[in-house]
Amino acid sequence: MSGPFTSPVAYSIPFNGADPLAVSAGITADNVFDAILEAKTDALNNDRYPVQASYGGNATAGRYLEIYPSIASDSANGPLIIPELSRISSYTAGCVANSTFVLTIRNLTTATDLLNITFTASKEVNATGLSVSGVNANDHLGFYIKSGSANKPFIRVWFNTIT
C-alpha cells in the first residue's frame, strides 16, 4: 500500500440518491465516491465572488465608478482584474434618487460592453439567474455611466467561476 486511502472502499459503499436530502442537493449518485465527485463539481460550478463599485457624487456620462479599496480614482485606471474564467450571475445596482441612466459593465481588455443596466426614473434594479460570459482570467473590468446621470451610483456584481 503506497499511502492512505488507496482502497476503493468509497465505490463499494451504497449512497441513496433518492433520499430527500440528496435530491434537494441535486446528488443522484448510487455510491459514496460518485456522490463526493458530484458534490465537488457542484461546489466548483457554484463558486461565487462579489465585487462592488460606487461613486460618491453626481456621476454623468463617461464617469467610471470606483472599486473600493483602490488607489486609483476610478475603475478605468484601477480596474477589477478577474482571477479566473468567470461569468456574471447576478447584480444589484442603484443610486440615492430616481434617475434615468445606463450603467455599463465593460471589459476593458477586449473593449466590449458586457452588460448595460438601464434605469428609467428609478433608483434600484437587480437581476439574478444571469449567465453573462466574456470574462476571462486576467481581463480588466470597469463600471461606468454610459448615458444620463445618477447621484451616488453603486453596483454589486456576483461572478461565478467556470470550471
Q: Are strands 140-151 and 80-81 parallel, antiparallel or unpaired?
A: antiparallel
Q: For the domain that residue 93 is a member of, what is the CATH number?
A: 2.60.120.260
Strand pairing partners for 122? 99
Asked whether residue 71 is assigned to any structural domain, the reply reads: yes
pLDDT for res 1: 45
pLDDT for res 10: 72
Length of the chain counted residue by residue: 163
* Beta-carbon contacts of residue 107 (< 8 Å; ≥ 6 apart): 113, 114, 134, 135, 139, 140, 141
| 3-state DSSP assignment of residue 136 | coil
Domain that holds residue 94: 48-161
| 29 and 75 belong to one structural domain | no
pLDDT for res 70: 66
| 111 and 63 belong to one structural domain | yes
Question: Half-sphere exposure of residue 80, counting CA atoms within 13 Å on the CB side?
Answer: 28
| 103 and 70 belong to one structural domain | yes
pLDDT for res 58: 95
Per-residue pLDDT of the chain (163 residues; tens, 9 = 90+): 455 555 577 767 777 777 777 777 778 888 888 888 888 777 766 677 899 999 999 999 999 999 876 666 677 777 888 888 899 999 999 999 999 999 999 999 999 999 999 999 999 999 998 989 889 999 999 999 999 999 999 999 999 888 7
Please tell me the total count of domains within the chain: 2
| 86 and 101 belong to one structural domain | yes
